[in-house]
């Protein structure tokens, strides 16, 4: 006879799951045995948080939920940050945790916390499985909920006695296509009329415009419509190709060069904007541009985002419908495209300075030089994220992965490991600050054990650099932000990885190139000078004068 754990694993196989990431415990031993006898690979990590980040990134890159496994209590609670990362970032994933037996209580309350309650605000759905016979339907529903717009994490708790209980075979529930509603013609016509009536319409692509399935329809629609566009941080790279219509990324909420184009626009078509991100621009009640919201769901009305019209439905179908209504009818936005050249020139200024430690501009320039068009860069969270968002030009969708929702440290290395597992023939790089890297640096051992080809670029300034910068900008004394680091090269070698240290600005590209060509896991320690943060992102932007008057 089958056990509950067998049914669980069969249900996962039915959903197409080929890997489960995690750290099992005593309460998962039946599940572990069922996995051993299945086609599913168990990817053992060194911390549950890393397993959750990997599962979330699987969902982000494939559109299909990644699955992670942990035991009860401390193991389950270590999933919390990863669950929030997926919940705010709209990444489909399934979290499975163990629990003590629910029919008996031989260990009283040892290690027991209410994990279902703790997961409720961090997930789309959370439930305890109380009967092995319900497992096929519960798992099918979990995957459906995780993948529905807005995607996100679902948590299932499987008590050990339910996992071990024998039961007659229960049929699995077939997987069916998940279709999304299509916007009616009336709001599409209304949006098209607003765009045609505008003098300087501008498109903004947000996080929900960056789903894997949207790459082709959105890219094709943007080419047909022919309007200049910019993107939010998490919308970066949604449109393939080196489009001459791209104006830049709104890495800041206001005052940056790309906001000159925003200020000049009289209509912004916001494609998939999710207000979980920091505002890419600040709406004003009077004198600002009108906004058309295009999304899977109605807009969240916020102080800084309250659209004038909405088109709700599948974004790919909506954009195709707009292209059919607008193709060939819009005049070339010559003034916007002239402004584009000046915006990009300003952003790319001083990108080849040879001072050392390297500046953020040189760092981004050299990483771009070392990465082919389809190479994937996965950012942890730190000051460099703003520079990559502003300066790093993407040509292929989903080749710059960053988190501007939860914006947690510690996700860069696990997310890059997942990207490397899914794309073994492409160059994959994790870019981490020294603070964020050390939060999950133990996963170097996992990466080596898995035989991944991965370069980990650690930016070394001996501080929590972003908060230190904010502290200085707010005129607080420099306090509580600095720390000591290990010798990162020897640290990597202790895990069986390779290590290199950058000693000049000119050495960065050759060091990265050699690391990729050498294969395996290779850590590159690169000192960085963040003095440019204040010069560019505070003083220069505060004193800048618009280059083009489009009034």
| 3-class secondary-structure state, position 356 | coil
| 3-class secondary-structure state, position 420 | helix
Domain at 290, CATH number? 3.40.50.1220
Same-domain check for residues 385 and 529 = yes
Question: What's the token pair of residue 529?
Answer: 């000078």
238-242, 437-441, 445-449: which range is least confident on average? 238-242
Nearest C-alpha neighbor of 283 from the set 258, 265, 256? 265
Sheet holding 290-295, edge to edge: 246-249, 229-231, 201-205, 267-271, 290-295, 309-312
With a cut of 90, say whether residue 243 has pLDDT above it.
no
Mean per-residue pLDDT, 448-475: 94
| 3-class secondary-structure state, position 123 | coil
The pLDDT of residue 429 is: 98
With a cut of 70, say whether residue 545 has pLDDT above it.
no
Same-domain check for residues 382 and 463 = yes
**Beta-ladder partners of 218:** none
Same-domain check for residues 391 and 457 = yes
Same-domain check for residues 84 and 105 = yes
Question: What's the token pair of residue 526?
Answer: 């690169």
Contact present, 165 and 4 (Cβ < 8 Å): yes
Question: What's the token pair of residue 481?
Answer: 């932000």
Q: Tell the residue number behind the tokens 């160059």, with chain if given.
A: 427
With a cut of 70, say whether residue 551 has pLDDT above it.
no
* Average pLDDT in the chain: 93
* CA dist., res. 61 & res. 54, Å (int): 11
* CA dist., res. 173 & res. 137, Å (int): 7
Mean per-residue pLDDT, 469-491: 93
Same-domain check for residues 400 and 268 = no
pLDDT tens digits along 204-241: 999 999 999 999 999 999 999 999 999 999 999 898 76
With a cut of 80, say whether residue 135 has pLDDT above it.
yes
The pLDDT of residue 344 is: 84
Rounded alpha-carbon distances, angstroms, from residue 204 to 6, 449, 463:
47, 42, 34
* CA dist., res. 245 & res. 243, Å (int): 5
Nearest C-alpha neighbor of 289 from the set 312, 314, 260? 260
* CA dist., res. 463 & res. 492, Å (int): 20
CA 82 to chain centre: 12
Q: Where are the beta strands (DSSP E) in 344-476?
A: 376-379, 400-401, 428-433, 454-460
Residue 277 lies in a domain: yes
Residue 66 lies in a domain: yes
Question: What's the token pair of residue 477?
Answer: 């004394």
- Rounded to the nearest 5 degrees, what angle is found at the Cα of 49, between the Cα atoms of 297 and 487? 125
The pLDDT of residue 223 is: 93
pLDDT tens digits along 373-424: 999 999 999 999 999 999 999 988 899 999 999 999 999 999 999 999 999 9
Question: What's the token pair of residue 254?
Answer: 């206001």
The pLDDT of residue 453 is: 98
Residue 176 lies in a domain: no
Nearest C-alpha neighbor of 182 from the set 280, 53, 314? 314
Confidence of residue 544 (pLDDT cuts 50, 70, 90): low
Domain enclosing residue 61, as ranges:
2-167
The pLDDT of residue 546 is: 54
With a cut of 80, say whether residue 542 has pLDDT above it.
no
The pLDDT of residue 13 is: 98
Residue 403 lies in a domain: yes
Residue 547 lies in a domain: no
Same-domain check for residues 333 and 359 = no
Name the domain boundary from 167, 194, 214. 167
Confidence of residue 550 (pLDDT cuts 50, 70, 90): very low
Q: What is the chain's percent helix, strand, coil content, to nearest 5?
A: 40, 20, 40
Rounded alpha-carbon distances, angstroms, from residue 405 to 91, 177, 364:
11, 28, 22
Name the domain boundary from 290, 323, 344. 344
| All residues at 6 or more sequence positions from 456 whose CB lies less than 8 Å from its CB, including other chains | 413, 416, 429, 430, 432, 437, 444, 492, 497, 521, 522, 523, 524
Residue 217 lies in a domain: yes
Name the domain boundary from 315, 344, 373. 344
Express as a percent the part of the chain with pLDDT over 90: 79
The pLDDT of residue 549 is: 45
Q: Which pTM was predicted? A: 0.95
- Rounded to the nearest 5 degrees, what angle is found at the Cα of 31, between the Cα atoms of 25 and 36? 105
The pLDDT of residue 548 is: 44
413, containing H or E segment: helix 412-422
How many domains, the chain?
Answer: 3
Question: What's the token pair of residue 22?
Answer: 């995690």
Same-domain check for residues 22 and 36 = yes
123-137, 271-285, 352-366, 495-509: which range is least confident on average? 271-285
pLDDT tens digits along 148-190: 999 999 999 999 999 999 998 899 999 998 889 999 999 999 9
Mean per-residue pLDDT, 73-78: 97
Question: What's the token pair of residue 354?
Answer: 């040879």
Residue 174 lies in a domain: no
Confidence of residue 24 (pLDDT cuts 50, 70, 90): very high
């Amino acid at each position: 006879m089958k056990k509950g754990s067998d049914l669980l694993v069969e249900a996962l196989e039915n959903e197409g799951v080929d890997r489960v990431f995690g750290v099992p415990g005593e309460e998962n031993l039946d599940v572990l045995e069922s996995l051993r006898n299945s086609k599913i690979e168990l990817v053992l990590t060194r911390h549950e948080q890393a397993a959750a980040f990997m599962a979330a990134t699987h969902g982000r890159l494939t559109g299909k939920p990644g699955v992670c496994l942990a035991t009860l209590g401390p193991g389950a609670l270590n999933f919390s940050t990863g669950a929030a990362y997926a919940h705010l970032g709209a990444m489909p994933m399934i979290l499975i945790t163990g629990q003590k037996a629910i029919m008996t209580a031989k260990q009283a309350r040892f290690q027991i916390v209410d994990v279902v309650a703790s997961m409720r605000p961090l997930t789309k759905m959370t439930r305890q499985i109380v009967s092995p016979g319900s497992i096929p339907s519960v798992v099918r529903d979990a995957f459906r909920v995780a993948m529905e717009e807005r995607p996100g994490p679902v948590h299932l708790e499987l008590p050990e006695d339910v996992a071990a209980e024998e039961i007659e075979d229960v049929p699995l529930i077939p997987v069916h296509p998940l279709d999304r509603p299509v916007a009616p013609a009336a709001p599409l016509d209304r949006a098209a009329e607003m765009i045609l009536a505008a003098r300087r319409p501008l498109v903004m692509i947000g996080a929900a415009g960056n789903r894997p399935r949207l790459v082709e329809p959105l890219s094709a629609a943007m080419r047909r419509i022919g309007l200049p566009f910019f993107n939010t941080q998490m919308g970066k790279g949604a449109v393939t190709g080196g489009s001459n219509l791209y104006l830049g990324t709104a890495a800041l909420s206001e005052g940056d060069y790309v906001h000159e184009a925003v200020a000049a626009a009289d209509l912004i078509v916001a494609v998939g904007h999710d207000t979980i991100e920091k505002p890419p621009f600040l709406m004003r009640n009077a004198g600002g541009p009108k906004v058309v919201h295009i999304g899977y769901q109605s807009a969240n009305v916020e102080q800084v985002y309250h659209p004038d019209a909405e088109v709700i439905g599948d974004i790919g179908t909506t954009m195709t419908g707009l292209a059919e209504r607008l193709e060939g009818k819009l005049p070339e936005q010559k003034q916007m495209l002239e402004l584009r050249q000046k915006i990009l020139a300003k952003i790319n200024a001083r990108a080849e300075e040879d001072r050392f430690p390297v500046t953020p501009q040189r760092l981004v320039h050299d990483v771009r030089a070392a990465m082919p068009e389809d190479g994937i860069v996965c950012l942890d969270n730190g000051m460099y994220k703003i520079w990559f968002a502003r300066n790093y030009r993407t040509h292929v969708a989903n080749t710059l992965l960053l988190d501007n929702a939860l914006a947690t440290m510690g996700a860069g290395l696990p997310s890059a490991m997942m990207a490397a597992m899914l794309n073994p023939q492409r160059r994959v790089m994790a870019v981490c600050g020294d603070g964020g890297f050390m939060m999950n640096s133990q996963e170097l051992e996992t990466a080596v054990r898995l035989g991944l080809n991965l370069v980990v670029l650690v930016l070394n300034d001996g501080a929590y650099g972003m908060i230190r910068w904010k502290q200085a900008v707010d005129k607080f004394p420099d306090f509580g932000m600095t720390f000591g680091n290990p010798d990162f090269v020897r640290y990597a070698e202790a895990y069986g990885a390779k290590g290199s240290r950058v000693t000049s600005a000119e050495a960065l590209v050759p060091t990265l190139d050699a690391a990729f060509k050498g294969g395996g896991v290779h850590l590159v320690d690169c000192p960085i000078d963040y003095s440019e943060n204040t010069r560019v992102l505070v003083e220069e932007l505060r004193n800048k004068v618009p280059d083009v008057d489009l009034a």
